[in-house]
Each structure stands twice: as C-alpha cells, then as structure tokens.
Structure 1
Amino acid sequence: MSGNRYTGCSLQQVSPMAGPHDSHETSYLLPPNSKDWEGHGIPDFVYGQEELVLEGIQWPRDAPGLPEDAVPPSRFDSVLCSAWKQRVELGLFRYRLGELQTQTLPGAVGFVAQLNVERGAQRRRPQSISSVKQAFDPALFNFNKIRPGEVLFRLLREPDLPGALQQEDILVMINVSPLEWGHVLLVPEPTRGLPQRLLPGALRAGVEAVLLSSHPGFRVGFNSLGGLASVNHLHLHGYYLAHRLPVEGAPSEPLDPGGHLHLLQAVPAPGFLFYTSGPGPDLEALIGRVCRATDYLTDREIAHNLFVTRGAPPGKTSPSSALTGVRVILWARKSSFGVKEGEAFNVALCELAGHLPVKTSQDFSSLTEAAALALIQDCLLPPAQAEEVQAALVALIAQDEQ
C-alpha cells in the first residue's frame, strides 16, 4: 500500500506558458488575488496536429506507479495543471485533495484502489434521473450555473485537423469534487443545453485531449444517464492517475471481419473495444462507430460507460505492451438511477476500467478483488441481453463496411 507519488504533472514546476503558441496566447491563470473573474474572459488553448503526441509514451518498467518528474509535461499538461493548482489555492473545490492512499489489490485483475473519503461524503447529490434519454432541464443544476473561476480554458482545434467543420467549443473546467489531481470536465458549448448523450465533437475532444497529454495516465471518460452521470448536461471527465490500469493491455478478440470492433477480455467487465493509432481518417471512423453504438444504446434505454486511454493494439496483448495508440472501451450495463450509499464504491467509468475510488477507510482496508468483482458484475447486463447488444453492435459495424 502506498500513496500516489505523482500528481498528474509536476505541479510545483510547470509553466503555464510553455510551448510553441506562447506568442499568441493569454494567461490561463486568474488575476492575482481576484475573487471575481467576471470581465476577464475565457482564455483559448489552441492546438494543432504537431501537438498530438503519438509515440514514445510508456510506463517505466517494473514500477507500480509513475515517479514525480518521470515524464516532461506537454504544453497541455502544463497549462491544465498550473491553472488547476491555482484553483486549489483559491478554494474553488469542495475539499482540498491531499495525497490519496493507493493500493493494487492482490489478484489477477490488478485493481487500483484509492481512498477518497471527501469525494464520497461531499460531492453534489446526483440529479433525479429516470431515463437514459431524459431531456435537459435548465431549472436543475447545470454547467451554465458554475462560478466563472471554475473554467480553466476553451479547447480549440486549428483548422488543419480533420473534422474541424464539426468542431465545437469545449470548455475545460474543474470538477469541484475531484477524483484525483487534475480532474476536469470537458463541456461542449454549455449554453446549448445539451443532454448527457455522447456526440461526435465531444468524443473527438476527449480522444485528442488524451493525445495532447504526454502522461500515460491521463484518461477521459463518459457516463450516460443511468450509468451514474450525476448531471444531465453533456460532459466528459478527464483526470490523471499515475498507475497502469487493466484495460490498457488486456487481450481481446475481434467481433467483425474488418477488426473494427473487439471484445475486451480478462478485465473487470467485458467491454467493446475500439482502437485508433492516431488522428486522421482512422480516428474519424472510430468516432463515427462509437457514437453510432452509443446512439443505439441510448435509443433503447441501455445505460453505458465509456473510457478513453492510451493502450496497446487489439489482440493478445499484456499490461507491459507499448501504448502505441488510443483504446476506447464501451460498456453496456444495467441502469442505476441514484447512488448506492452502502457500497464501497459506485460502478461507473473508472471502476469498470479498474480504478476504484473507495469511500471509507474500513472498506479500503478490507476490500478484496473478489468483492470488487462482485460489485461490478452486479451492474452488468444479464447474459441474454448482453448477447443481443453484442449482435446489434456487430451488425452496425457491418453496415459501415458495406
């Protein structure tokens, strides 16, 4: 058992203004000692093809976690972490996140468990949700109602990147109840009042955010309504975790002749694996396939979770495999409306990937792999329905290939 020695990037040393775009970007930090950000505007983080890091990202050998300063931060990491740290100092979070106790549970899966008592006790109560397709309600809490200082920057793509015509403004803001250091939300054009249903522009931003980070443990994810999304306003999560997760290199088997859809195996829960080696037509095709799959699930009231991480190509891989591309894993699951108070953890995007934020010290000290698997498997679809979903998604992919 150990503390997490690495907090996403070297927060004490990063510069908010490092990188090739210094000459035309504004500061990402709030004015000194300012308690009111009104009138200062939202800075733009503009990125191009050259900043999407495709090669050379890997975990150190024989290390359970990533030592501090092991990875030089990218410009994206520097900007995000510097601005995030300042919001900590300004007291904009519900609690001050300390060094989290972290342990890898003994067993074949490799669960990474973390004790996060404050998040379990102080996070905002989830909204009342009764349908995966529930409409946006402006009267409820949404991201148009946050304090201005919670926004870090606007994520903007340069026109040279594919898919720019479908580009949406993505606001990157702090999650005031963080899972880990650097926990942010990616919110596409909040004033549009989009419900929590995955759209291509949001997924593209999530995948490219992973590629903008030089840290192997920066991940992005999405919870549907009924999949423990607590706010019905379109958003993705992004956060740093300095530990390998089972889904990065777990083996898989192809489900279609073209190899575009795989079934992930030997992980906490079987999931549908999509893979891309980087930006371009391959990434655009992946975005289309994933969103057609999530549309199918949403339209049929099937809750789901999605996880984006650097990882190995599909096939017979292992945790030590090179992180040569991006894995997008999609889980269809039972709907769960509301939080189960008595459980050690609630099952959403990070738990299905093998990261377990545990709510109490007692559960953290007593949690076993078998108990964690039982909690997760209780949230999965019955076998007959799971087979039906798999057949439907294979058919969707086959339509793409015709």
Structure 2
Amino acid sequence: MAIPHDSNEASYLLPPNEEAWGERGIPDFVYGLEELLAGGVQWPRIAAGLLGTLPLSRFDSAICSAWKQRMELGLFRYHLGELQTQTLPGAVGFVAQLNVERGVQRRRPQSIKSVKQSFDPEQFNFNKIRPGEILFRLHREPSLPGATQQEDILVMINVSPLEWGHVLLVPEPALALPQRLLPGALRAGIEAVLLSRHPGFRVGFNSLGGLASVNHLHLHGYYLAHRLPVEGAPSQPLDPGGLLHLLLAPPAPGFLFYTSSPGPDLEALVNRVCRATDYLTDHEIAHNLFVTRGAPPGKTSPSSALMGVRVILWARKSSFGIKEGEAFNVALCELAGHLPVKTSQDFSSLTEAAALALIQDCLLPPAQAEEVQAALVALVVREEQ
C-alpha cells in the first residue's frame, strides 16, 4: 500500500530523541462530524495492489506516515514487508497471507483462565510500552453526538503486526481496564473505520478466551487491500425491527449489526452491541467482533455497495493461549475470512475445506448457540418495546 502524505503529518512523527515525545506531549488527532464518511467509499475496479492510488483521508495519512516511521526506526519486533497473499479456491473467498514472523516472534499470550478475569498490573499491559510506540491520541470534537465525557483513545503500533498499518486503540490505559468491551472503545473503533477512505481498513476486538493475548482493554485496526466475505454476506433478521441479523454465509454464522450514518443511529448500535457483549462476558462466553464497511443487511452479494458499517459478533468456544501446530489461530480476522498463516508449508497446502474445519471447531455447539441467539434477540426485542 502506498504511503499517503498530509501537510500535518510531521505532527505525528517521532522526534530524534524518543523521550522528547513524552515530554512535549502525545499529539492529538481531533476529528469532527464532517470527517466521518458513511458513504462514498468503494473498492476500485483495479487490482488490489494498486489501492495506494485511492484518495486517502487525513486519518489514513496520520496512521500510515507515523507507522512507516516507527517501522524504519525498528520499534517493531520484525520488519513487515509485502506479505505473500492468495485467495483460496472455493465459494468462501478466504484471503490467506503468509506471516511467519508474527507466528514466531509475537509476545506469548498472558495466562488467562476466565472471560471475566480482572486486570493484573504485574503482567504486561499498555502502560509499560515505549513512548515511541504511541502514534497519537484520538479525540472527538465536543460537538459530536455521543458520550458527554470525552475519553482518551491512544492509537499505538502493534509491535507484532498482522498487516500494514496494524494499530491498537487503547482507551485511557491508566484506568487499567480489563479486556471487556465498553461503549467508548467500540464507538472509537467504528468511528475510526468511518474516518478512513480506505475500504480495507477494519477494526476488531477479541475477548478473553477469544484469543486476546493482553488483558488490558484494546481494539485492533489494520489495512487489508482485499475484499472479505463478511462485507456482503447474506443475512436474515432475527427481530421484528430488523436491528439484529444472523449472518448466514461462511466462514461462520455471526450476529450482524449495521449502521449507515454517524449520530443517534450509531449511538444506538454501540449500546446494542455492548449489551450483547456484556451478556456474553457475564455468562463466560468468549467472543470476537469485527467492524468493516459493508452492504446493508439482507440477501446481498459480495459485490454489493459498501453503504455503511457492519459490526459482526461471533460467540465461540473459549480458547486460552495459542494452539501450536495449526495453520492459523481463530480470532477476529479469521472469522471474517482473513487467514494469517504461520508456515510456508501450511500456506502452500491450505484448502478452503481445511480452513472451514479449523473455524468450525472453535464455534459453540448447536444447542448453546441457539440459547445465545435467543438471549440476544430478547435483549433487542426489549429495547424495541
């Protein structure tokens, strides 16, 4: 992906002395309603590798210029070049990428035994990172609708990146919040997607037991210059008002929420999703969440226009720690159809059927899945009454 340029991009670049970053203060990226692009962002009719020709936003420029500088300064665990990528043959359209370094060099997951586990200050957390890993603070203009209390969302590099521009969105690290989704964090994630002009900028969340490796509240954001199956997969409504849909197509059935505009509709969606994740957390059910530009709910096709934002929530079996010997571990991006593969051998031999089998093994058994669906539908119906 080509690096965009912005007249203010120097504001987010690290000074020669990294310690001066903290002394002069983390720069603020302040955005208003006019920068939240609900529509008009589409995949170009060109090869994915030419996506750098897209007109990108001020937000894209801020992330990419600062992220590139941190890579050149060696602040990551490995240098990320262009990843070998293939679309697996078959109906799903899995995007597989070979990322050997992430499989080998990423930090070992923390010892986690519960979806509701408390924050442990003795374990690694985002208050212990180097100052240069922080790119900027994401800050909403006070006039934007939503929470009356402003929250600091630090945007920092993921030192073991999945793909280009892989960042973490960390709300108020000093509060020592455990990895449990909160409305302010989700709102920031959705608005980050709306701030980008790149159709492949996505945001996601892994719960504890859903392969979150750090028990400190954070979301992931990254660029992937490829369409994914969940952008336009068909769905069916689960409630009379059509606020909750069931995503029908592979890779995995999930709960689909949708918004086409910032403002009250987005606020209602944030609260609706967090009620669902609160239910799952309180019942010790692991989950993953993915935010992407996509088509409105219904019987749509992968080529449908990206009219708004899809938020997809998957309830799944708990899995604590990384499973060795498998081609990939199932978390937010794999459930969406993006498969970061650990070894060259697995990358060359992976099939759609094998990928689906790995994902299926992580899903809830049918009886429990039906119970969860009934509970989430009841939450939405209660809201509609």
Q: In the alignment, does 2:259 pair up with 1:276?
A: yes
Q: Where does residue 14 of structure 1 map in the other structure?
A: 5
Shift in Å, 1:159: 1.2
The residue type paired with residue 359 of structure 1 is K
CA contact 1:157–1:164 (8 Å) conserved in 2: no
Does the residue aligned with 2:300 lie in a helix, a strand or coil? coil
- Structure 1 residues 47-81: Cα deviation after superposition (integer angstroms, max 9, x where no partner): 000001122111123x5525143311100000110
Q: Determine if contact 2:133/2:156 at 8 Å carries over to the other structure.
A: yes
CA distance in 2, matches of 1:264, 1:229: 23
Report the Cα distance in structure 1 between the residues aligned to 2:22 and 2:335, rounded to whole angstroms: 39
| 1:27 aligned counterpart, secondary structure | helix
Question: Which residue is 1:161 aligned to?
Answer: 144
| CA distance in structure 1 between the aligned counterparts of 2:14 and 2:204, rounded to whole angstroms | 27
What residue number does 1:320 align with?
Answer: 303
Per-residue CA shift, 1:189-241, capped at 9, x if unaligned?
00000000000000000000000000000000000000000000000000000
In the aligned structure 2, how far is the partner of 1:397 from the partner of 1:66? 41
> Cα distance 1:331–1:166, how it changes in 2: closer, same or farther (>3 A)?
farther
Structure 1: which amino acid aligns with 2:183? P
- Structure 1 distance, partners of 2:303, 2:292, is 15
Residue 30 (structure 2) pairs with residue 39 (structure 1): no
C-alpha distance in structure 1 between counterparts of 2:384 and 2:182, whole Å: 21
Contact 2:147 2:184 in 1 (8 A): no
Deviation string for 1:289-329 (max 9, x for gaps)?
10000000000000000000000000011111000100000
Percent of aligned positions with the same letter in both sequences? 83
Cross-structure match for 1:115: 98
1:214-233 alignment to 2 at 5 Å? 214-233=197-216
- Would you say the 8 A contact 1:16–1:28 is kept in 2? no
**Structure 1: runs of 5+ lacking an equivalent:** 1-6, 19-25
Give 1:55's aligned residue: 39
Shift of 1:39: 1.1
CA deviation digits over 1:232-278, x for unaligned, max 9?
Answer: 00000000000000000000000000000000011200000000001
Q: How many residues align?
A: 384
Instruction: State the alpha-carbon separation in 2 of the partners of residues 76 and 189 from structure 1.
Output: 20
Q: CA deviation at 1:168?
A: 1.2
Task: Give the distance between the partners of 1:211 and 1:233, measured in 2 at CA.
Answer: 24
Equivalence map 1:1-400=2 (5 Å) = 7=1, 10-11=2-3, 13-15=4-6, 17=8, 27-31=11-15, 33-36=16-19, 37-61=21-45, 63=46, 65-400=48-383
Q: CA RMSD in A?
A: 1.1
Contact 2:94–2:229 at 8 Å: present in 1 too?
A: yes
Report the TM-score, using the length of structure 2 for normalisation: 0.98
Q: Which runs of 5+ in 2 are unaligned?
A: none
Task: Give 1:167 deviation, angstroms.
Answer: 3.0
TM-score by length of 1: 0.94
CA contact (8 A) 2:44 2:51 kept: no
Instruction: Tell me, in whole angstroms, the C-alpha distance in 1 between the residues paired with 2:150 and 2:114.
Output: 28
Give SS of 2:379's match. Answer: helix
Classify 1:314/1:155 alpha carbon distance in 2 versus 1 (closer, same or farther; 3 Å): same
Answer whether contact 2:145 2:263 (CA < 8 A) is retained: yes
The whole-number CA distance in structure 2 between the counterparts of 1:151 and 1:97 is: 18
Contact 1:16 1:27 in 2 (8 A): no
Give the residue type in structure 2 aligned to 1:100: L
